[in-house]
Amino acid sequence: MSSYTLISSDSHIIEPADLWQERIDRKFRDRAPRLVHEGEVDQWYADGVKFGNIGTNQQAGLRFEAPDRLTAGGTMATAPRGGFDPHAHVQDMDVDGVAGGVLYPSQGLTVYRVPDSELLSAIFRAYNDWLADFCKTYPHRLKGIAMLNVDRVDDAVGELQRAAKLGLAGAMIPLRPMEQRYDHPMYEPLWAAAHDLDMPLSLHVATYRWRPGTDPDAMTQDAVEFSNREYDVRMALASIIFAGAFERYPKLRVGAVEFEVAWVPYFLSRMDNTYTERAVGVKRERFKDGMLPSDFFRRNVFISFQEDDLGIQLRSYIGVDNLMWGSDYPHAESTFPKSREIVERILKDVPEDEKAKIAGGNAAKLYHFN
């Protein structure tokens, strides 16, 4: 096998049952996320709204050992200790041959469906505090990604600044904001702050913000939507690119996380074609120095994959420096505990210098792994 360093750009924690009761601002405690045992499932609620349950988010390894035992339901009693204990998490990384991990929430991904914006910000502050403590145990191996509420951009900027002081390595914003797309001028302070703080922003799958007039309990995806889930990340990235954010903030980095990558070449072609040949809907001013939308993508966007063999074959169209592998530990679809074996298979025909970047080098550079 090749002697590259393996870093997961997309791993997860499992939120402890007492996280929010212990840490949230006292005024929100009665409405804070709580875990309710319903039948054979532990289900999260916040302010009466149902969000993630303990199921496929905690079944790493079963796809290899006993796929017939995979289930959509589960309880904290069966959750792997590595999901909520940093020592056990690092031990599992050692078993898997992974040197470092970038950490996202699990059930917290869908808490964006809670309507009350002030409560949501309090939920995120408490989570970010907990995650920072989790990562401090192994600061050279664990890099946490803060959660941001962008309903009020000044609130998002303040929490991003606080997250940087806490030692977190980046932040995530919802795939779909509550009202305004990411090409709206209201987000300008957020792009500026992320640029100045050197804090990458992530667009992770499943992070759909509640919108007025919709039922938060109905915000689930069926097979059709799930099969086309990269639609929303394309919309978000195109909004940021065409708004000129990357031209104004050349060190701003925004990533698509857990969408695989083979769709990217066509997306880049469509943006360039729209920019060069379509008059309708394209900004009148042109980018400086002859830059195209695809140039900004390759300079400013990072993209995480898990097992996308076709995407790796198309890497020259995507950009080798943009690609980062992720294990998705401890979720059911995770490559744990066979990550090195799987990555080696996917990258077997890739030159060693490119392999080193994709397997871990790009993530190490972006998130300042030592």
Residue ranges covered by each domain of the chain:
7-367
Q: Based on C-alpha coordinates, what's the Rg of the chain?
A: 20
Cross-strand bridge partners of residue 145: 170
Going by C-alpha positions, the residue among 299, 293, 295 that lies closest to residue 270 is 293
Measured CA to CA, the distance from residue 86 to residue 135 in angstroms comes to 7
Backbone angles phi, psi at 45, to 5 degrees: -135, 150
Of the options 3.40.50.300, 3.30.70.2200, 3.20.20.140, 3.40.640.10, the CATH number for the domain spanning 7-367 = 3.20.20.140
pLDDT at position 70 is 61
Measured CA to CA, the distance from residue 304 to residue 320 in angstroms comes to 12
In the numeric block, the tokens 């898997």 are attached to: 96
Cross-strand bridge partners of residue 38: 41
Measured CA to CA, the distance from residue 90 to residue 336 in angstroms comes to 13
Query: DSSP per residue over 7-19, as a string?
Result: EEEEEE----TTH
Q: Would you say 128 and 36 are in contact if contact means Cβ atoms under 8 Å apart?
A: no
Q: Would you say 167 and 139 are in contact if contact means Cβ atoms under 8 Å apart?
A: yes
Measured CA to CA, the distance from residue 216 to residue 31 in angstroms comes to 15
Measured CA to CA, the distance from residue 343 to residue 325 in angstroms comes to 8
In the numeric block, the tokens 């709580």 are attached to: 34
Handedness of CA 123, 129, 133, 135 (dihedral sign): positive
Cα-based angle 306, 310, 315 (whole degrees, multiple of 5): 85
The dihedral over CA atoms of 70, 13, 130, 201, expressed in degrees to the nearest 10, equals -130
pLDDT at position 58 is 76
Q: Would you say 304 and 200 are in contact if contact means Cβ atoms under 8 Å apart?
A: no
pLDDT at position 205 is 95
pLDDT at position 61 is 62
**Token digits for 172?**
């995530």
88-104 in b/e burial notation, b at 16+ Cβ within 10 A?
ebbebbeebbbbbbbbb
**Token digits for 264?**
């990217």
pLDDT at position 69 is 65
Q: What is the DSSP letter of 357?
A: I
Q: How many residues does the chain have?
A: 370
Measured CA to CA, the distance from residue 43 to residue 66 in angstroms comes to 24
Report how far apart, in Å, the C-alpha atoms of 210 and of each of 186, 223, 363 are: 19, 20, 31
pLDDT at position 277 is 87
In the numeric block, the tokens 């946490």 are attached to: 144
Running along the chain, 370 residues long, what does each successive block of 10 average in pLDDT? Answer: 88 96 97 92 94 75 66 79 96 98 96 97 98 98 98 98 98 96 98 98 96 80 84 97 97 98 98 84 77 98 98 98 97 93 97 98 97
Going by C-alpha positions, the residue among 61, 43, 63 that lies closest to residue 53 is 43
Going by C-alpha positions, the residue among 52, 75, 13, 122 that lies closest to residue 44 is 52
pLDDT at position 324 is 98
Measured CA to CA, the distance from residue 38 to residue 44 in angstroms comes to 10
The dihedral over CA atoms of 67, 37, 21, 16, expressed in degrees to the nearest 10, equals -20
Please give the distance of CA 173 from its chain centroid, rounded to a whole number.
9
Report how far apart, in Å, the C-alpha atoms of 107 and of each of 2, 35, 39, 44, 230 are: 35, 11, 18, 8, 20
pTM of the model: 0.95
Amino acid at position 56, single letter: T
pLDDT at position 281 is 58
